[in-house]
Amino acid sequence: MSIINDEKSIKIDFFKKEGALDNRAICEGIYIVELQHCSKLSKSPLPLYIGQSVYMVKRCGEHLWYFIKEPAYFGLTTDDLKNNNLILGFRVLESLPNSTISWRQEREKFYITDIKPLTQMPDSDRQSKEKLEIVQGKIKLFGWSEL
**pLDDT tens sequence across 117-136:** 999 987 767 788 899 999 99
Residue 84 lies in domain = 11-141
Provide the pLDDT for residue 104.
Answer: 96
Neighbours of 59 (CB within 10 A): 16
pTM for this prediction: 0.89
Does a structural domain hold residue 117? yes
Say how many domains are in the chain.
Answer: 1
Does a structural domain hold residue 31? yes
Amino acid at 89: G
Average pLDDT in the chain: 90
DSSP secondary structure of 71-119: GGGGT--HHHHT-TTEEEEEEEEEE-TT--HHHHHHHHHHHHHHH--TT
Does a structural domain hold residue 46? yes
Does a structural domain hold residue 39? yes
Does a structural domain hold residue 71? yes
**pLDDT tens sequence across 64-106:** 999 999 999 999 999 999 999 999 999 999 999 999 999 999 9
Does a structural domain hold residue 3? no
**pLDDT tens sequence across 49-62:** 999 999 999 999 99
Does a structural domain hold residue 147? no
Q: Do 117 and 48 form a contact (C-beta atoms < 8 A)?
A: yes
Please name the helix (run of DSSP H) or strand (run of DSSP E) that holds residue 56, with its range, or none: helix 56-69
Does a structural domain hold residue 6? no
